Structure 1
Amino acid sequence: MRYSLRQNIAVEPVIAGWYAWSYLLPPQTLARFVRNRFTPIVESYLDDPQVHAAAVRQRRMHGGPWIHAYEHRDAIEAWYRDTAPWRERLGELFEAIRQLEEDILPRHHGECLDPVYEELPPALAGRVEVFYGRDNRTPDYRFIEPLMYASEFYDESWQQVRFGPIEDDAREFALTTPMLEYRPDQLLVDVPLNSPLLDAVFRGGLTDAELAELASRFGLTGDRAALFTSYFEPVKDTLGAPATQDAEDDVLDYVGHACVFARHRGTTFLVDPVLSYGGYPGGAENRFTFADLPERVDYLLITHNHQDHMLFETLLRIRHRVGRVLVPKSSSASLVDPGLAGILRRLGFTDVVEVDDLETLSCGSAEVVALPFLGEHGDLRIRSKTGWLLRLGERSVLFAADSTNISPTMYAKVAEVIGRVDTVFIGMESIGAAASWIYGPLYGEPLDRRTDQSRRLNGSNFRQAKEIVDALEPDEVYVYAMGLEPWMGVVMAIDYDESHPAIVDSDLLVRHVRDKGGSAGRLHLRRTLPL
């Protein structure tokens, strides 16, 4: 008998006690989030848990600085006390960055920066480069990222995974609550996120002896080993082959949110992977789950570094299936724009390629082109974002993600280079969160409310999306990446009704495309599309 992980068992990644996503992996950004976001949340909770309890009972408050496991004060207080050494070490790095940004660099106004290297705090000495902007007066800096990962501030012993069953499509918002064992069916395991042991878990097909050995290598004994074993079920055949379509068929499957699976002449692609679970009653019908993926995903395409497009939980689960990962080229190595390639390599992906604007790659039976991606990042200098154009034989498909058409002539100029596009996927969260919702802990000083509200994480509104469509002249337009799927609640907090601007704007775009004779729709759950 062989065993594989049950379809409804989530394996949630954890860094320093928090739900892991891309800004928690580099030590310099982790230090900022721990000091500026997580510590205030926990201390507020310990001071008055009932305030948090009252907040999370209100749907409109989700996504705010509230601990959802409000009934577990003793466990959270013990964890917070036990992890003080982590915060102390990261606090040294936080203070070094603060000193560089607030004390050292502001003293320089155009003169030689060589003396700065003598002043650097030990935590940053030898690990940053300082320079002037083009005005020759404003100093700035970048991290030498490989040396940051090699430092004492990047500690894989702070990494864990939490096993536990999923019983419903809807999931609790995870980004503001410590990841502890709150239920008897949850199991927190100490393991680096790049460990091959996780590939063995997700690959499955384990004998009794192999399953017992895996539990032992995770350091599990007794009841904890028995709980780990209970997450697996007997299987007759290898899981993972598509259940409803021949492995050789060309297909374009909308998976949910911004995730799309494509197969063309045997070459497989997966864009912005966020997949749902299966194996429990009452879930949405015909949803695309991990069990629907083929054994091999030749190319994984990531548009940008937001948690709903680069979800560690999905990435780790499919890592053993993935060939090459394509990511947008990064250039700044700053607090707000850490390199995606470096993050993915430290997640255990070995074949990661950065692609620059309008660069074309041959990928099996297809071509992939990186297109410019503007907006949606709070006017910060963030280079790690791209739209992906997939040329599948005679057809072309654009995954524009949350690109905001704030430069109305750009897509017309892009069209002059790439020609018309047959199918366009575009996000239309036309009023997104304030920029501080993601980037606030990374700011040197908080923005005033008016400024913060003006720099929102918007996708295109109707007018902007219409101009994209009119420039590219597609036959098909699909609005996606709206956070409509219930499982997106783990990292998003959006509550739509029919009057919400994103719903109104996307309805207008669908009508505009149909009036021009094209096909259009706002996607939700799974949908198989023409290819």
Structure 2
Amino acid sequence: MPYSLRPDVAVEPVIAGWYGWSYLLPPQTLARFVHNRFTPIMESYLDSPEVHAAAVRQPRMHGGPWVHAHEHYDVIKDWHERSAPQRELLNELFEAIRRLEEEILPRYTGECLDPVYQELPPALSGRVEVFYGRDNHTPDYRFIEPLMYASEFYDEGMQQVRFRPVTSDAREFALTTPMLEYGPDQLLVDVPLNSPLLDMVFRGGLDEAELARLTTELGLDGERAERFAGYFELVAGGPARDESAEPDVLDYAGHACVFVRHEGTTFLVDPVLSYDGYDDATEGRFTFADLPDRIDHVLITHNHQDHMLFETLLRIRHRVGTVLVPRSSNASLVDPGLAGILRRLGFTDVVEVDDLEERRCGTATAVAVPFLGEHGDLRIRSKTGWLLRLGNRQVLFAADSTNISPSTYAKVVAVTGRVDTVFIGMESMGAAASWIYGPLYPRPLSRREDQSRRLNGSDFEQAKAIVDALDPDEVYVYAMGLEPWLGTVMAIDYDESHPAIVDSDLLVKYALTRGNTAERLYLRKTLTR
């Protein structure tokens, strides 16, 4: 029998010692996060670990800048000291960006910008373009992103994966704790995230010789090789799965993840999947085992960690044909190119789609729909809702789009036609803008500014206006972070009084009074087709 990875083993991406997500892959954004977020967290922890130990026990502190593995002080201190050369390199890039933004560009208020190129620090020279905004007085810049990835600041040697068993549905918040080996059941492996060796791990079906060769190529020997082998199990082979004969389906898989099969073509929207095979795992969930061998199209709505989860994307990469993403044209600190990130993550067929552009996918069609709000009023272009035309049915995945301009959806429908099924994100009280984007700001927002620019999905009135404009038959609330495994990258503690629960309850009731099918989705739901 062949060996395959156990279904209860998580393989977590690691970049520069931290949980890997999309803003840590480009070197320019990684430099900002290391300097502005991770270094202060480490300095605070190393100075007062007891403060972090107390903070992580308080629900109101959930998602704050606290180290969760606080009991492993010596391990964390040793890693922090050993990783100083990495920080020094990234700090060189951080300082170059700071100088450009705070010292060089502010001196220009309308005159020719040509001299700026002679003043650029070496880390940025030849790798940025400077220009004025439309007022002809405010200078700005963009990165030439391929040259940033080709620079010494993008080092795949900073990338790793950590193997560890999953023991419960609920997972601990991961974004503020170094990803190290904290116990004998964990294994940190030095391997670039785009390595084909990871595809071998996830594809499975390995005989003993192949597993031994994989172990060697990952640089593992002795006890570490034995630990690695323990993550695999013998799996009996079965008859080949005839996926072409499987029926059409629309399957909610948790959070904003939906699996679609239409006339043999498969789609996975915003992949975030849970594990299985451990004691007390909630039954009936959609897990990796429920995926087909081939996913023809992955659709990404936007560049937030709960919609573009590296941990899931790496695990399914060997199954994926094409990835469709919103077109990005900014190449800025707050809006790095989504396609470039995915290509460096090892995906080879990535297609950017602009507003209301269409992409033929088998007998279905994917249409990019405008996505407003939820990004802290920043100039972020890489976001879209996805409309799937499945025969005579149209399904819209609106993700976290906030209906701040109610006439937009009416105008969209005038172009696309009526929508039959809509998925609406209703995290109506999201995090403050700085929770994601704070390390990228030139200077911190005031508390008033930060709280006013929250990363909100639609509230009841906004979602109601979407339903009225689209006039759908089915209304589903999703993307709420309700599933316990979302705790890795989200920090939401719901109760019945939480605004998102109140607002989504109101929307479901409203849709039902219209005669719609309506529900706030949780765990898994196979919908009518």
TM range (shorter): over 0.9
Q: Which residue number corresponds to residue 343 of structure 1?
A: 341
Q: Which residue number corresponds to residue 217 of structure 1?
A: 217
String of CA shifts for 1:191-227, please: whole Å, max 9, x gaps. 0000000000000000101101111001100110000
User: Per-residue deviation at 1:236?
Assistant: 1.3
Amino acid at match of 2:139: P
CA contact (8 A) 2:424 2:476 kept: yes
User: Is 2:54 the partner of 1:54?
Assistant: yes
Q: What SS does the corresponding residue of 2:115 show, helix, strand or coil? A: helix
- What is the rounded CA distance, in whole Å, between the counterparts of 1:240 and 1:99 in structure 2? 59
Q: Which residue number corresponds to residue 439 of structure 1?
A: 437
| Distance verdict in 2 for CA 1:241–1:57, change over 3 Å | farther
| Distance verdict in 2 for CA 1:292–1:239, change over 3 Å | farther
Give me the TM-score of the superposition, normalised by structure 1. Answer: 0.99
- What is the rounded CA distance, in whole Å, between the counterparts of 1:527 and 1:518 in structure 2? 17
| Distance verdict in 2 for CA 1:241–1:7, change over 3 Å | farther
Q: Which residue number corresponds to residue 125 of structure 1?
A: 125
CA contact (8 A) 1:240 1:292 kept: no
Amino acid at match of 2:23: Y
| Distance verdict in 2 for CA 1:246–1:360, change over 3 Å | closer
| Distance verdict in 2 for CA 1:239–1:142, change over 3 Å | farther
| Distance verdict in 2 for CA 1:240–1:214, change over 3 Å | farther
CA contact (8 A) 1:239 1:291 kept: no
Q: Which residue number corresponds to residue 19 of structure 1?
A: 19
- What is the rounded CA distance, in whole Å, between the counterparts of 2:497 and 2:35 in structure 1? 38
CA contact (8 A) 1:240 1:291 kept: no
User: Per-residue deviation at 1:247?
Assistant: 5.1
Equivalent residues in 2 for 1:295-306, closer than 5 Å: 295-306=293-304
Q: Which residue number corresponds to residue 510 of structure 1?
A: 508
| Distance verdict in 2 for CA 1:182–1:241, change over 3 Å | farther
Q: Which residue number corresponds to residue 361 of structure 2?
A: 363
Q: Select which of 368, 371, 374 maps to 2:372.
A: 374
- What is the rounded CA distance, in whole Å, between the counterparts of 1:309 and 1:527 in structure 2? 19
- What is the rounded CA distance, in whole Å, between the counterparts of 1:239 and 1:354 in structure 2? 37
User: Per-residue deviation at 1:59?
Assistant: 2.0
String of CA shifts for 1:304-352, please: whole Å, max 9, x gaps. 0000000000000000000000000000000000000000000000000
User: Per-residue deviation at 1:385?
Assistant: 0.1
Q: What runs of 5+ residues in structure 1 fail to find an aligned partner?
A: none
User: Per-residue deviation at 1:239?
Assistant: 10
- What is the rounded CA distance, in whole Å, between the counterparts of 2:364 and 2:53 in structure 1? 51
- What is the rounded CA distance, in whole Å, between the counterparts of 2:300 and 2:262 in structure 1? 19
String of CA shifts for 1:341-376, please: whole Å, max 9, x gaps. 000000000000000000011101200000000000
Equivalent residues in 2 for 1:414-425, closer than 5 Å: 414-425=412-423
Q: Which residue number corresponds to residue 149 of structure 1?
A: 149
- What is the rounded CA distance, in whole Å, between the counterparts of 1:286 and 1:250 in structure 2? 19
User: Per-residue deviation at 1:419?
Assistant: 1.1
- What is the rounded CA distance, in whole Å, between the counterparts of 1:496 and 1:291 in structure 2? 29
User: Is 2:274 the partner of 1:279?
Assistant: no
Q: Which residue number corresponds to residue 112 of structure 1?
A: 112
Query: Aligned pair count?
Result: 529
Q: Which residue number corresponds to residue 311 of structure 2?
A: 313
Q: Which residue number corresponds to residue 235 of structure 2?
A: 235
Q: What runs of 5+ residues in structure 2 fail to find an aligned partner?
A: none
Stretch moving more, 231-240 or 464-473: 231-240
CA contact (8 A) 1:19 1:175 kept: yes
CA contact (8 A) 2:402 2:456 kept: yes
- What is the rounded CA distance, in whole Å, between the counterparts of 1:191 and 1:293 in structure 2? 25
- What is the rounded CA distance, in whole Å, between the counterparts of 1:343 and 1:62 in structure 2? 28
User: Per-residue deviation at 1:246?
Assistant: 8.7
Stretch moving more, 282-291 or 306-315: 282-291
Q: Which residue number corresponds to residue 325 of structure 1?
A: 323
Q: Which residue number corresponds to residue 481 of structure 1?
A: 479
Q: What SS does the corresponding residue of 1:29 show, helix, strand or coil? A: helix
Q: What SS does the corresponding residue of 1:114 show, helix, strand or coil? A: coil
- What is the rounded CA distance, in whole Å, between the counterparts of 1:41 and 1:280 in structure 2? 32
CA contact (8 A) 1:264 1:392 kept: yes
User: Is 2:404 the partner of 1:406?
Assistant: yes
| Distance verdict in 2 for CA 1:235–1:460, change over 3 Å | same
- What is the rounded CA distance, in whole Å, between the counterparts of 2:214 and 2:134 in structure 1? 55
Q: Which residue number corresponds to residue 92 of structure 1?
A: 92
Q: Which residue number corresponds to residue 495 of structure 2?
A: 497
Amino acid at match of 1:409: S
Amino acid at match of 1:255: A
- What is the rounded CA distance, in whole Å, between the counterparts of 1:236 and 1:12 in structure 2? 26
CA contact (8 A) 1:240 1:293 kept: no
CA contact (8 A) 1:31 1:90 kept: yes
Identity of aligned residues (%): 78
- What is the rounded CA distance, in whole Å, between the counterparts of 1:312 and 1:61 in structure 2? 25
CA contact (8 A) 1:205 1:238 kept: no
Q: Which residue number corresponds to residue 522 of structure 1?
A: 520
CA contact (8 A) 2:364 2:388 kept: yes
- What is the rounded CA distance, in whole Å, between the counterparts of 2:66 and 2:442 in structure 1? 23
- What is the rounded CA distance, in whole Å, between the counterparts of 2:241 and 2:109 in structure 1? 61
Amino acid at match of 2:177: T
Amino acid at match of 2:3: Y
CA contact (8 A) 1:241 1:293 kept: no
Amino acid at match of 1:154: Y
| Distance verdict in 2 for CA 1:240–1:325, change over 3 Å | farther
String of CA shifts for 1:141-189, please: whole Å, max 9, x gaps. 0000000000000000000000010011000000000000001100000
CA contact (8 A) 2:244 2:264 kept: no
Q: Which residue number corresponds to residue 200 of structure 1?
A: 200
Amino acid at match of 2:491: A
Stretch moving more, 56-65 or 265-274: 56-65
CA contact (8 A) 1:240 1:295 kept: no
- What is the rounded CA distance, in whole Å, between the counterparts of 2:49 and 2:480 in structure 1? 32
Give me the TM-score of the superposition, normalised by structure 2. Answer: 0.99
Amino acid at match of 2:297: Y
User: Per-residue deviation at 1:240?
Assistant: 10
- What is the rounded CA distance, in whole Å, between the counterparts of 1:269 and 1:254 in structure 2? 12
Equivalent residues in 2 for 1:140-179, closer than 5 Å: 140-179=140-179
User: Is 2:33 the partner of 1:30?
Assistant: no
- What is the rounded CA distance, in whole Å, between the counterparts of 2:514 and 2:187 in structure 1? 54
Amino acid at match of 1:176: T
User: Is 2:71 the partner of 1:82?
Assistant: no
Amino acid at match of 1:36: N
User: Per-residue deviation at 1:62?
Assistant: 1.4
- What is the rounded CA distance, in whole Å, between the counterparts of 2:238 and 2:41 in structure 1? 44
User: Per-residue deviation at 1:60?
Assistant: 2.1
Q: Which residue number corresponds to residue 394 of structure 2?
A: 396
User: Is 2:468 the partner of 1:470?
Assistant: yes
